[in-house]
Every structure is written in structure tokens, then in C-alpha cells.
Structure 1
């Protein structure tokens, strides 16, 4: 076989240098694009819904569509009972029964975790999403429940003796991103992993006890404290059994709250393994909150040093006996269904005597926004002032959670149709 080879003109050294520089530049751009695309997972926003997962159904009907519809109906009923039991701390059997029409009005969606569809049978494991605004009215007095201050979450995954947080996308980060914490008492602050997150929130920072750097990071993310969810993954062989050791940590001092171990038969079960690990982690942090172990570290609060008064400040015959109060920054969480709710909350806070500034640090329309309020006085005084203006207020360490009080229903008319005098 004869092949024709076309000869190229020789290049001098300058031409070779320019060609090499061009190739390196193109390679650098491609590498940067690949590297940048391998980071960042936007978490699911579930602040407007409650979720109940793992609802098992097994239904037989005349055809596949009828079986699926019946299975989803049963999942709604079971999901409501589980949600009521969880929020009120009572057995499932004590949950009040609701009609299917009422359940249809409060259910926001059905999440299919696993399903098998036959000609006349439907077997599935489902999750049920309940609208928070509509369901909260039916959950009773304990519907709001205990709520933690904003907690910055750092998911750390050890694999092959290498720790990874946000440097690359991991199965552990994916599991936390698709986790729906709407029904959890923990207020998770979940970074997306883009921008400077891999530099600020890596494994080295998770184990650093210094408070100065932590104060800057927590202030940037609008959080009061940090929790580190750690997992160490061991594989027997590629695609073989997986052993995962989970550790729930809290605070700059790296306090261990609990540990547990989970196993998967092969690599196909990695996603389900991580989802179960997230669920167990949330239970650990929720129990620690109820036990009083998940409290913000007081050393993370930035305290302003009082300014030193010069001698001229004491001069004069009309010196005031009491010095003016120094404004202290407090965190206020407010439920903002829309932009109008945010405007109303900001206006109401600015109208409180003693408030010197209101700054929205985290905006979440349809969820819970976070504001920094500079107030001259104790946080209890701010709470009383807001309650007097018609707000329902829950007080935590340096934090207030406010929401509009439900309107008082009008009294029923007097017997005989005559109004009460």
C-alpha cells in the first residue's frame, strides 16, 4: 500500500514556541472549564414543605393506573399520620383522620423513591410532600416545634485516605443536596460548593479550632454555628461491598455527637446508602437539639469592645449621668412567603424604638429569610416590642424567629340572630 505524505514547511524556533504557547493556553482553558464544571450542587429548597419519606405501599387493582392511584392515596394517609406523630411526639394511632379531599389540598407532591408496576399491582416506596402553610394549621400547637439557629453544614467524605468536602462533587454532597429538611428542627445552611466554598469550607477548616476565622465564615454564610457531617467509605473492590462509617460533629472544637456504620452490597447501592446516612445524621442532630447539646458556641459571637472615653468626654457641667446604649447585632429569622412579606417585616423592625439598622443577609422568598438587626438593648426587649406589634416570636441564643400571628376568628352570633352588645 502506498501512502501519500505531504511535507510541511519547517518551523523556526520562534514559530515552535508560539505554537506550544497556543496549545498550552487552549489546554489551560479546557482544563479550567472541566475543573469548574466539576463543582457545585444546588441544594433542594424545601422550606415551604414538610416531607415524610419511606412510605411503603402494596396495592392490587383492576389495572396498573388504578393500582398506582390507590397506592398514592394510601401513601398520603400514612404520610399524614407519620408527620402528625413526628411533630406532636405521640403514637401514629393517635393522629386525627383526614378525608382524601383534605389531604389532596395539603399534599404538594409525591416523591417516587422506588416502585414496581405490574398489570394489576403497584409496589412502591414513596415520599409525601405537605404544603407547610396549609398543613401547619392542622398539626396543632406543636406544629412549629423546636427550631435550631442557622447551622452551617460541611459534608466531608473520606475515600482512599483522601478527605473531600466541596473540591469535587461527591455522593455525600449529592445526598445532602437532595435532602429535604423542611420537616427537620435543624435550620441547615447548605453551601452550593461554587466560588470560594472549596477554599473556605474544606476538611482542614472543619478541624481548625481558631475562632477568628470561623467568625468571618459564619458571618458570610449567615450562620450561628457549624456542624460537620463526616463519612469514611471503604470498598472491598471496585463495584463490590461498601462499608461507610458516619460521624456527626459539632462546633469548632469538633465535638462528636454520635457515630454509626452502614453497609451496601455493591456500588449500585451507594446513593441509597448515602441517603440513609443523611437521614440518620439528621436524627442525631435533632436529638442533640432536644437534649440541649446542639447549642451555638458563645465564643463565636462577635462582641464589640466598648470605646474608651477621653478626658474631654467628662468635661462640662451638663454631663449626662447615663451614657447611651451601644447597638448590638441580633439575628432575626422571618418567614417570607413573597416580596411583600419581606417588606412588611423590614418596615416593622425599623419601626421598633431602639433599632438602628436592619440588613437582610439571606433572602429566601417562599421560605425563611435571615436579617441582622442592630438594637440598643437586650434581645428580650426586642422580642417584647415585636410581640406588641402582632408578631409571634420564638427566642433562642442571640436569635429571634418571627412570623405573623394568625388572625383571631370573629365570635359566633348570639342565639336568635341578634348580635352581642
Structure 2
């Protein structure tokens, strides 16, 4: 039995095939657009992590004498006159706090370089404010401030951690704790604070999670970025009773890569308007804690962070000798002692000259940095290896001093299971 198809059926089948082909092309195009959109969204998210108005530059340190936290409440014929009178009253109170001799207000005003306004309210005939007064050291130093050189600490990186609402942050947003430390006049303290701005890549490098890491190799790379010897970690925990209501703060002074505890205290603020004043007071008290630790000899750079490269290489060599002993175990049974054979002595070969080699590797996290450093330093003949560029989530760079140069180093790393490629005068290693 013969089966025939009409012309209309064949045309319909051809149209259906064309529809299927069109649908497949549309699916491919939609898939490509989705991939491009996802890539663009990922790039936007990465850019959003480092962009934005999040950094607060710290106040420039000066050697002038500053007195903060002076409250004035003055009345006058006009608001402007009350303000001027309030500033004069603040200058007199600040001079009294410094223990200066009795002087007319005009003489005190001549030594004032600036007045810092914390908070102020100007009415038609009343002025209420919290002020700070800065005296010129060249003029006021002969009366107050003492003389002699002040022994300062080593440069210490400051990482202020704020815990509020169950979220820990450092530089991710413009927080009040970071602002309080940025406004602190650190020149009057013997503690040499290194205060990051918190903008750009610093918000990715210095996070609350960084303070929980214990790797000395990782901390050395971070501290080298800021030319610091150790780290200080002041922690502020804020608990709000209700929105706009009282705020309870618990402040803890910690230091070092192990986040060692020094001291803690508690303060309260009646509302959000009093929060800046509470945080400013907390900064001064934490600075007093660090001062006491410095004078008692407790606040000194961790020796595991400042030890020389030679000491680190020696420590890695000892660890390698313990983990990989030379030779194998001799099975049970008596073995006749070998007869000593006289062998003519030969001069020991001269040590090969060390060459500088640049090694690049992907560093998505701290573990990758530690693994690459341990692998390179474990190669026989490597005299030293140091991180010259640290890029988390990117490509980091090591500067290696190795006997035999790049060829011998590459062969040893391949024996450890690393993929090694050479180009541009550097080695690129990966797992």
C-alpha cells in the first residue's frame, strides 16, 4: 500500500523545521546574553566592593597641644556674641586643664591656633557646644606640655573593629568607630598609630576576618603594605535598646596577630546624638590602655613578625629535616659492620652562586600564600623568599634567592607537583 503526502503537509513540515531551527538559534542567543549579563554583574559586584564613599582620611598629626571635650553654655545679646564668648570660655577652661599659669584671656587667645567644633547649637541669644582647643606648641610649650623627648612606639597598624547589630565591620562602610579614630589627635600619644584611610582596596585587605587570622606569613604581607611592625585591634560592641534610644558600648583593647587581650570597659550614651561623644571618650581611654601597655613593656612588636629572613629560613630547614628524615629504616636482623675503606679526600665543591628569581602565583586566599611560600622555601638551595607584591584574589609575586637560578628552581617545584611556566623573566606556578 502506497502512502502519499500532500504538498500542504510537506510545506507545513518545512515550516515546523524552520521553527525548530529558529528556536535553537534563539536559545543560543539567550544563553549568550545570560552569560554576558552574569559576567557583567560579577564585574559590577567586584567593582562595588572597592568603589564608593567609604574611606575617612585621618586628621593630620601635628605637634600642637590639643584639649578636647570642653562643654560650654553661654548667653549673649545675639547668637554671634554668645558664640564668641563661648569660644573664649572654652580657651580658658582648656588652659586650666593643661595647668597653665593665670593669664588674661587675651594672652591665652594669642596662643590658640584653632578651635575644633564637635557639636554646637546657636540660638538667637544662646550658644551650646562641645569644643576642642588647639594651642600652638611654639608659644604655649614654655608654659605647659613639659619638655624633653618622648619615647614613641614602633609603627603599629590600627584596625578598628565595630560590632553593631550582629555585624562586624572595619572599612566596609563609613562607620562611627572608624570616624572617631580618624578624628583622634594621635600626635599627643607615644603610640605611633598607622591609620589607614579605608578607601579602595584597603576595605578588602583589612576586614574583621583578618583579625582572626594567625598566619605570620600572611600578617607580614599585610603589615608591609603599610610599613608597620605590628597591629592594634580596638573593638567596639554597640547594643541599642531600641531605635533612637539608649546605646550601651563595650570596648576592648587588643593587639598583635594573636589578638591578645589587654583590657576592656563599658560606656553608655542616651541617644544617637550622644554616640560620637561616647566614642571619642572611648578612643581616649583605649589610647590610655595602649600607653600603659607600652610603658610596661607589653606593647612591643611580635618577634615572629620582625624576625629576619635568615631566621625564617633556618626554621623552615629544621622543620623540613624533621618531617623528611634522610635515609630509610633498617629492617630487623644483624648486619655485619662495613669495613672502613680509605677514600682519598677531595676538595668540597664550591657553593653555587645565588640568583634572584621572580615567582608569580595565584593567591585567592591566605592559604594559597602560605602554600606557595612553604613550597618555594622548601626547595634545596633556596636562601630566601619574600613577598614583594600581595594581591588577594589576584596574582602575587615572590622574590626568591636560589642557587642554580630559575631552571633549578623550576625543576624542583615540578617535582613537588606544581605546574611551572616561564616567561617574561619570571616563573608562573600553579596547582
Q: TM-score range by the shorter chain?
A: 0.5 to 0.7
Gaps of 5+ in 2: 1-22, 315-346, 351-431
Instruction: Give me the CA root mean square deviation.
Output: 3.4
- 1:302 counterpart = 2:307: yes
Deviations 1:184-235 (A, max 9, x none): 2221111122344334332333233333322332232122221100122223
The verdict on how the C-alpha distance between 1:102 and 1:150 changes in structure 2, with shifts beyond 3 A counting, is farther
Residue 41 of structure 1 aligns to a residue in which SS? coil
Residue 69 of structure 1 aligns to a residue in which SS? helix
- 2 CA distance for matches of 1:124 and 1:74? 11
- 1:215 counterpart = 2:220: yes
Alignment partner of 2:242 out of 237, 241, 250: 237
- Would the aligned equivalents of 2:233 and 2:255 in 1 still touch at CA under 8 Å? yes
Q: TM-score, normalised by structure 2?
A: 0.59
The verdict on how the C-alpha distance between 1:61 and 1:194 changes in structure 2, with shifts beyond 3 A counting, is closer
1:39 is matched with 54
Deviations 1:66-120 (A, max 9, x none): 22212212222322332x3xxxxxxx3xx22455455444422111222333444
Deviations 1:345-365 (A, max 9, x none): xxxxxxxxxxxxxxxxxxxxx
- 1:289 counterpart = 2:294: yes
- 2 CA distance for matches of 1:264 and 1:141? 34
- Would the aligned equivalents of 2:101 and 2:143 in 1 still touch at CA under 8 Å? no
Determine which structure has more spread, i.e. the larger CA radius of gyration.
2
Using the TM superposition, name which of 252-261 and 114-123 deviates more. Answer: 114-123
- 2 CA distance for matches of 1:143 and 1:72? 31
Residue 163 of structure 1 aligns to a residue in which SS? strand
1:351 is matched with none
- 2 CA distance for matches of 1:143 and 1:97? 24
Q: CA deviation at 1:19?
A: 4.9
Deviations 1:8-50 (A, max 9, x none): xx99345544554565566556545544215322222233543
The verdict on how the C-alpha distance between 1:30 and 1:305 changes in structure 2, with shifts beyond 3 A counting, is closer
Gaps of 5+ in 1: 1-9, 85-91, 314-421
- 1:227 counterpart = 2:232: yes
Q: TM-score, normalised by structure 1?
A: 0.60
1:65 is matched with 80
Q: CA deviation at 1:156?
A: 1.1
Alignment partner of 1:276 out of 278, 281, 284: 281
Q: CA deviation at 1:138?
A: 4.5
